[in-house]
Amino acid sequence: MPELLLHQIGPNASLQDLGREGYLRFGLSRGGAMDRLALLEAAALLGQGLDIAAIELPSAPVTLSVDAPQRVALTGAPMLAEAGGRSLQWGASHLLEAGEALSLRPTGRGLYGYIAFGGGIETDLTLGRRSAHFTGGLGRALAAGDVLPLGADNKPSAPPRKLAADNRFDGGRIRFVTGPQTELYSAETRAAFGAARFVKSSHANRQAAKLDHQGAPFAADGQLGVVSEVIVPGDIQMTGAGEPFVLLAEHQTMGGYPRIGAVIGQDIARVAQASVGVELWFEQISLEEADRLYTPENELLRRIRDASEPLLRDPREMNGLLGYQLISGMITGQED
Amino acid sequence: MAQMPQIAPIGTEGYLVRFADRLDDGANRALVGFAAALEAEEIDGIVEVSTALASVFVRFDALRIARADLVARLQGLLDSRDWKTESNIAKKRLWRVPTLYGGAAGPQLAEAAKLAGLREEAAVRELSAARVRVLAIGFAPGQPYLGMLPERWDVPRQTELTPRVPQGALVLAVRQFCLFANETPTGWRHIASTHMKLFRPEAEAPFALRPGDEMIFEPVSEHDWALLETDPLGGAQLAEAGDA
């Protein structure tokens, strides 16, 4: 069985898929990739389905190799990728030769990069899936020296493909719908929330991301009296101090802090991917509008596949060119 | 206050059916029964049903059922009977869990007993006789909120967190027990310990408990309790519950 060797890897990297559904009643949230679209993109590039698994790299550099030729898909937050002296385009698939070291380095744009493999990652299933769920106690962070089993890549010579560009790594507008607890907030507080400009806090992990803003906190009326109710992904929860947290992949299944609304599925990755200090703001949309925007993930996968294009070899990818050397120098500067 | 039960959209793929706006034992029994009946209907397009302390969550697939149809089905089921008096809830299950009270296994038993106005021995008698229900599972996978205890146990949470309470700890606050699935910090008072593991991902039945299960925490000696350490369920016995 082909193997993936992790030579070097940063903290909190983990194996992720689209998570486990159906366990809310037992206290386990869906979990899965922080940027689900990135997994669909990888599946589209590699000709895989919704059962795809990838390595999630939260601003975590990695150096890895495979012991048999494999296509790799690089998606999510852009990283600087190079293998065997070639620099590899992000948002695309590439062939990685056996024994060739692939290194990925964060660029500071977006938080979660992903790498998936043409043969798939073939670790054992737990509750039907492979993803780590840190708060649920499933799996663990990946570490240097880890060896993961891969499936054989049946189509290593399939031509590499690339994705259309996307701006979900740059913050911006976050659409949300109101919910059953929105009424706990006065009209003034809701208006102030809609007008506020937030920046992504460093206080963010797979469970939730805090958003900072200048100005008064968003206090609910009767905040302390809320009985614990189900939490849905994207819920905008205010702490006792009235500071918003957007609840993400590994959210708790229920909570007693009031929620002003919920970010729609399409914009959750935009919150998760925003780097520290990037600006975000909220725009309330109606449920009817949200329903019009709703696209199931199998349909999204089909659309991404249709929009992807053959990857043409770019001169910048070639060895020894001045451009490549300049980029390489810049990386070293950032790391210091 | 809004009229209960109440159906409201939550997020873009779900509805909340609220039975109360505060924790209420009767409402919790009613909603557990409603959730079971809803699942038994096997409505096409409902992909998940989950219960919390005072509400039921229903997740749906908009391509298989329209919002208006879903709401009509939920309302129809709500109106079909009086869920507060409904007694044919799916077979009840009763757990008897060997429990070591006080001492190092329950360092805050004396403190909790004092807040309830009881001596330690009387507190253990009352708590170990209490037949509590799983009101909801959450906070950690498999971890139950259990109630309701007699009124004298309406003791507040501590303002300071206990930094570390072990897996299997039985803790108490606001007329409820919580049985911890993992080691965790808590504001609840640690009164006893069990060896029951609530979430075993590799097991055939990974989650021991279901909402609506009943539990009795029966006192055992330190010697007997220690012998149960290697049993995944810590000696907990499951039976179908009678009404006694």
Residue ending a domain, choose from B50, B80, B110: B80
Residue B164 near residue B194, CB atoms below 8 Å: no
Residue A96 near residue A66, CB atoms below 8 Å: yes
Sort strands A172-177 and A279-284 into parallel, antiparallel or unpaired.
Answer: parallel
Please give the Cα distance from B189 to B170 (Å, whole number): 8
Is residue B24 located within the same domain as residue B144? no
* CB spacing of A27 vs B201 below 8 angstroms: no
Q: Name the domain count of chain B.
A: 2
Q: Which pLDDT score is estimated for A336? A: 31
* CB spacing of A26 vs B139 below 8 angstroms: no
Could you list the residue range(s) of the whole structural domain that residue B176 is in? 93-240
Q: pLDDT tens for residues B22-81? A: 889 999 999 999 999 999 999 999 999 999 999 999 999 999 999 999 999 999 999 999
Is residue B75 located within the same domain as residue B120? no
Please give the Cα distance from B120 to B135 (Å, whole number): 26
Could you list the residue range(s) of the whole structural domain that residue A331 is in? 3-166+302-335
Please give the Cα distance from A300 to A281 (Å, whole number): 25
Residue B110 near residue B120, CB atoms below 8 Å: yes
Q: Which pLDDT score is estimated for A335? A: 32
Q: Give the Å distances, CA to CA, from B17 to A211, A301, B7.
A: 30, 32, 5
Q: Which pLDDT score is estimated for A177? A: 98
Is residue A65 located within the same domain as residue A151? yes
Q: Which pLDDT score is estimated for A220? A: 86
Q: Which pLDDT score is estimated for A314? A: 59
Whichever domain contains A278, its CATH number is: 2.40.100.10
Q: Name the domain count of chain A.
A: 2
Amino acid A254 reads M
Residue ending a domain, choose from B54, B80, B106: B80
* CB spacing of A253 vs B50 below 8 angstroms: yes
CB contacts of B141 in chain A (<8 Å) are 23, 26-28, 136-137
Question: In what helix (H) or strand (E) does residue B33 lie, and over which residues does it extend?
Answer: helix B25-41
- Strand boundaries in B180-231, DSSP class E: 184-186, 189-193, 214-219
Whichever domain contains B210, its CATH number is: 2.40.100.10
Angle at CA A71, nearest 5°, toward A70 and A77? Answer: 125
Is residue A282 located within the same domain as residue A316? no
Q: Which pLDDT score is estimated for B158? A: 87
Whichever domain contains B57, its CATH number is: 3.30.1360.40
Is residue A98 located within the same domain as residue A211? no
Q: Which pLDDT score is estimated for A223? A: 54
Residue A269: name the closest of A206, A312, A322 by CA. A206
Please give the Cα distance from B48 to B61 (Å, whole number): 10
Q: Which pLDDT score is estimated for A56? A: 98
pLDDT tens per residue across all 336 residues of chain A:
999 999 999 999 999 999 999 999 999 999 999 999 999 999 999 999 999 999 999 998 999 999 999 999 999 999 999 999 999 999 999 999 999 999 999 999 999 999 999 999 999 999 999 999 999 999 999 999 999 999 999 999 999 999 998 999 999 999 999 999 999 999 999 999 999 999 999 999 999 999 999 999 998 886 555 788 999 999 999 987 889 999 999 999 998 888 999 999 999 999 999 999 999 999 999 999 999 999 999 999 999 999 999 998 655 555 444 444 444 434 333 333
Q: Looking at residues B163-184, what average pLDDT do you find?
A: 95
Is residue A54 located within the same domain as residue A76? yes
Regarding predicted confidence, which is higher, B186 or A222? B186
Q: Give the Å distances, CA to CA, from A245 to A252, A273, B6.
A: 13, 14, 26
Q: What is the CA radius of gyration of chain B?
A: 19
B7, B10, B175: which to substitute to probe chain A, counting the most A Cβ within 10 Å? B10
Q: Which pLDDT score is estimated for B241? A: 67
Is residue A69 located within the same domain as residue A181? no
Is residue B134 located within the same domain as residue B47? no
Is residue A223 located within the same domain as residue A279? yes
Please give the Cα distance from B56 to B17 (Å, whole number): 5
Please give the Cα distance from A37 to B230 (Å, whole number): 43
Residue B160 has pLDDT above 50, yes or no: yes
For residue A192, the number of C-alpha atoms closer than 13 Å in the C-beta half-sphere is 16
B1, B3, B6, B12: which to substitute to probe chain A, counting the most A Cβ within 10 Å? B12
Nearest Cα of chain A lies from the Cα of B28 at a distance, in angstroms, of 12
